[in-house]
Structure 1
Amino acid sequence: MVKREILGGRIGKFSLMIMLCFTIIFTSVGALIGTSEVANAAFGFGKGEGIAGNPYIISTPEELNAIRFYPTAHYMLGNDIDLTEFLAEGGAGYNGGSFWDPIYLFTGKLDGNGYIVSGLKINRTGNYIGFFSQPASGAEIKNIGFENVDVFGNGLFIGGLAGALVNPSTAIMNSYTTGKVSGISYVGGLVGYQRDSSIMNSYSLAEVGGASSIGGLVGYQDWGSISNSYAAGLITNSMEGGLVGASNQGTYDHSFYDKKSIAMDNGKGIAKTTTEMQTKSTFEAEGWDFFGVWYMSANEYPQLRIFVIAETPAANPPGGSIVNGSTVTISSGTAGAAIYYTTNGDEPTTSSTLYESSSPVIIDDDLTIKAIAMYTGKIDSEVMSNSYSIIRGEAPVTGSLEKGTVSGTTTLKGVTAAMEYKVNSGEYVKIDNTAVTDISINAGDKIYVRLAATELALASYAQVLTAGLVDIKPASAPTSASLAQGTNSGSAKLSGVTNVMEYSLDGEDYTSITTGNTIDNMAVNAGDSIYVRIAATVQQPASDVQVLQVGLAVIKPATAPTTVSLAPGTSSGTTKLSGVTDTMEYSLDGEEYTLITTGASVDNISVNAG
């Protein structure tokens, strides 16, 4: 409250002066408009009607100057405009050396469309000096750049784009100035005096000079708002502000200025070093949008994307299901940009097809349109990618897969001669029967089945079948595996195998072979079965199985007992065999073996010496 009262006298005086100026201007400009509109009704603009959705398109300095005759209309720039010759001596805008005559009381809409006005020059006495004098009552100015301005006003309210910006519904967005702006008081690189209005996503690199209330972006801010904006031009009065010279209840959210532009920090805006101002993270920390609004290159200040990068093309309709033979138009918000496109999936270049508005793309098959916009002086746009699917008959539902008759193949069943199929991204192949046998395939491959096109109908949508391992004919069983005695007693050796095989003993889990061509010392018994096959992969099933039967001949025998001894038997003419067990058997002179069932000895064996 105290601050408001202290400022009250100063602001009140200037508010009265502003009101008086507005009264004078409205009176004089009203007369000017009254006569000029009749005189310039035949002036005409190249395109447009001056209304929302169909603005006047401005392409020349003369058309830009004609805004003053229709200040409530809607406008859009159609290209960059250089005012140098228009404002030169002998030019229509020279005005005896005062150069550009500020456009008064603009209440319309001006969309710069990403184009630049260069060479603006003003050298006038009086107040409200800038390209616009004082946009008001809902005026909206956006997407316009003013480069190399040279604006001098020997008075108050001097700005590169506008002398004053008033009214709560008045706004400047996505715009900037460079060059030099100077005056007496209330001088800003973009706007001299801001009241109740808004400035968003804008900046000024202009050098600004004057006696008081001098700011890099805005000279004096009176209840206005600034957001996501910055200034980095030199301020010649070191006692003023890098972003805002002075402020009465104004706001400046997420907005910056370069410390090098001014020796003093007045606290209005965030002061950063040049290095920080040229570092993306500085602005990201304040929520700046570097996807849709801003762009930064290394060691440069932020730039507005619309001026730096050609706008990504847009297609109409924007992809999806579409009737066969439909047309698609492509456009870019960057007027005059060349658009190159492809329909085969390739990335577009200048060697691709150049889009002509008179020749829209005809959709006669499923395809993806990729397009890029190029404009001299701008970075190429990002690539647009829109996919289209022809509206077709419903897909078949009868197709199915089963193992083929040849290893590594599948058979497609449930089809007819009216259908066609393809594997993955291959070409469609006509089907001549109710099945297609022995299609070479891997697990995970996709087979597409559809009704083929006829003279009366497009091909239908496709039924998609994904091949699994169970749908693929396994490879034949190995034939190289064999058994022999192992190294250790009671074991066998498996030979003729490789590391792509695996084996199972009597139907237990398969074990991978990792020991080369043999597996030794397999604990087996006669009658066991050993199964050998080529192991499954991600793409192919395990092969059929080679079965090996274990016989006594392939089992390594145990070593001979060493505990056995002979002694005289109990009866005459006999011997006693000791150190044996019930697991042993004996033979006399090679006769049949007799199982030992008498414990640790066999007594009374009839023998002869030798």
Structure 2
Amino acid sequence: MFKQTSMSIIFAAAALILSLPTHLLAFAGGAGTPENPYQISTREDLEAVNNDLEAHYIMINDINLAGNTYTRAVIAPDIFTSTGYTGTPFTGTFNGNGHIIGALNITGVNQLGLFCQIGSSGKIINLGLEDISINGKEYLGGLCVTNEGTINNCYSNGVIQGVNYSLNEMLSGFGGLCGMNKGTIVDSYSSCEVSGIHSAGGLVGSNTGYISNCNATGDIVEGMVEECFPVGDPEGIEWMDCQQHGGGYIGGLCGYNTGLIYNCYAKGSVDTVGITGFWVSRSYGGLCGYNNGSIVNCYSTGYVSNYYSCGLVGESSLSEDSIIEKSFWDVETSLSQTSDGGEGLTTAEMQDIFTFTDAGWDFVNETANGVEDLWQMPAFDYPRLSWEAIAPTNSDIGMLSVNWLGGGCAAPDWCGGADRDFDGSVTVDDLLLLADSWLYQ
């Protein structure tokens, strides 16, 4: 009797386990709620997010995807790999928890990235993507193809390689972080090298949403091929019989903007083909290729490569919606004296804090322009966003000692960075500021 009862319990338990939804068994822990999110620990956990695209997730360690090649987006993929999205968007929350997904490798056709589509209620936070490789035809991004939700405190580095273009797809979208942004991206960056054809940018290919406190430092290479066809198995696609032409809407941060870009910068070079022929665009810029939105408190420093390229913005619409305010580019490093908006400055002027505070930018250690402390100014460098913490070290103490109670400090050196309040002298006020951020990471 005891044996039969035990066996009955075992069979009943097995039946219960087998009847549970797959996603309840796929994670390291959690219940998928905001208070108790599913815990992601492995590649299998990551892929299992597709079983519940409305749930809440948190990573509990780094995940290395080396040795795996995907042919479509890992999460919320496009079902038919067509030009239009045919999948189900991710509408939950994904908290990277400060962890990294490494060596993501995707080689396919369209709609390729870690996430394909983030819906309006979707939220991705605190996530890093390192050493990624995304190769495809159109609509490519490191973190996502299209964002309609919120991305906060995320970054990507690696290579985004686009190989095709259609004249019917004016906003195809190639971006280091996202191909297209229709939502909100804040406190994020990309250092990806991006190769795209139309609407390509270091951070996003096209923006109709809101981007704030972000930067892009990777190089952008325009290279368009047309009339290609794929050959080979899904894990080894090659493109044959390609013809190269010129593209357009290429920018260091954003290729095509009709939204708002606020407090951002780009440092990557914009290397354009500039081929004349059936279609030529002048829309190449160090920050944005084309603007019919708002760009406020932004700058660029990257080299732009040909006649059709401009220092900050390649082309601005004549519409009243097109606004470029308090934004600058370096005429020396870009080798460009022209831009369809913004103000060109020398390197020395670009590394002088007063250039920016006089324009109303909100910096650390000043209150005239606000107390949010959005920017900081390192010695001999361009402005940096305040979340890009620059920790003081022993060398900072050394410079403070050498210049103690001295005067005559000025941009771009500020007495080796010892004059932290930019008042021209090194006093106890600078010592207090250094102490306040000592070894801060």
Normalised by the length of structure 1, the TM-score is 0.38
Summarize the alignment of residues 57-456 of structure 1 with structure 2, pairs less than 5 Å apart: 57-85=39-67, 87=68, 94=69, 98=71, 101-104=74-77, 105-126=89-110, 128-155=111-138, 157-166=139-148, 170-183=149-162, 184=164, 185-195=172-182, 197-222=183-208, 224-237=209-222, 239=248, 240-248=250-258, 250-258=259-267, 260-262=269-271, 264-265=284-285, 266=289, 270-273=298-301, 286-287=361-362
- Structure 1 residue 41, shift from structure 2 partner: 3.7
Runs (5+) with no aligned partner, structure 1 = 1-35, 88-93, 310-378, 383-610
C-alpha distance after superposition, 1:553-585 (max 9, x if no partner): xxxxxxxxxxxxxxxxxxxxxxxxxxxxxxxxx
- Structure 1 residue 206, shift from structure 2 partner: 0.6
Look at both structures and tell me which one has the larger radius of gyration over its CA atoms.
1
Query: Secondary structure, in 3 states, of the residue corresponding to 2:33?
Result: coil
Distance 1:251 1:54 in 2: 35
Distance 1:81 1:301 in 2: 33
Distance 1:63 1:144 in 2: 16
Distance 1:115 1:161 in 2: 14
C-alpha distance after superposition, 1:16-70 (max 9, x if no partner): xxxxxxxxxxxxxxxxxxxx99652452422322211222222222212221112
Give the counterpart letter for 2:210 in structure 1: S
Distance 2:97 2:114 in 1: 17
The aligned length equals 261
Normalised by the length of structure 2, the TM-score is 0.51
C-alpha distance after superposition, 1:367-424 (max 9, x if no partner): xxxxxxxxxxxx9767xxxxxxxxxxxxxxxxxxxxxxxxxxxxxxxxxxxxxxxxxx
Distance 2:51 2:352 in 1: 42
C-alpha distance after superposition, 1:198-238 (max 9, x if no partner): 1111111111112211111111123x111111112111128
Distance 1:234 1:186 in 2: 16
Query: Secondary structure, in 3 states, of the residue corresponding to 2:115?
Result: coil
Where does residue 354 of structure 1 map in the other structure? none
In structure 2, the CA distance between the partners of 1:243 and 1:305, relative to structure 1 (3 Å rule), is closer
In structure 2, the CA distance between the partners of 1:259 and 1:63, relative to structure 1 (3 Å rule), is closer
RMSD between aligned residues = 3.8
Conservation of the 8 A alpha-carbon contact between 1:102 and 1:129: no
> Larger relative CO (CA 8 A, sep 6+): 1 or 2?
2
Query: Secondary structure, in 3 states, of the residue corresponding to 2:145?
Result: strand
Query: Secondary structure, in 3 states, of the residue corresponding to 2:269?
Result: helix
Query: Secondary structure, in 3 states, of the residue corresponding to 1:52?
Result: coil
Give the counterpart letter for 1:149 in structure 2: I
Conservation of the 8 A alpha-carbon contact between 1:131 and 1:161: yes
Query: Secondary structure, in 3 states, of the residue corresponding to 2:47?
Result: helix
C-alpha distance after superposition, 1:60-86 (max 9, x if no partner): 22212221112111111212221114x
Conservation of the 8 A alpha-carbon contact between 2:37 and 2:55: yes
- Structure 1 residue 305, shift from structure 2 partner: 5.4
Where does residue 43 of structure 1 map in the other structure? 25
Give the counterpart letter for 2:152 in structure 1: M
Runs (5+) with no aligned partner, structure 2 = 1-17, 78-88, 165-171, 223-246, 273-283, 303-332, 334-346, 366-371, 392-437
Of stretches 70-79 and 44-53 in structure 1, the one that deviates more from structure 2 is: 44-53
- Structure 1 residue 122, shift from structure 2 partner: 0.6
In structure 2, the CA distance between the partners of 1:242 and 1:41, relative to structure 1 (3 Å rule), is closer
Distance 1:216 1:82 in 2: 24
In structure 2, the CA distance between the partners of 1:214 and 1:295, relative to structure 1 (3 Å rule), is same
Give the counterpart letter for 1:133 in structure 2: C
- Structure 1 residue 103, shift from structure 2 partner: 2.8
Give the counterpart letter for 1:273 in structure 2: T
Distance 1:288 1:66 in 2: 43
Give the counterpart letter for 1:59 in structure 2: S
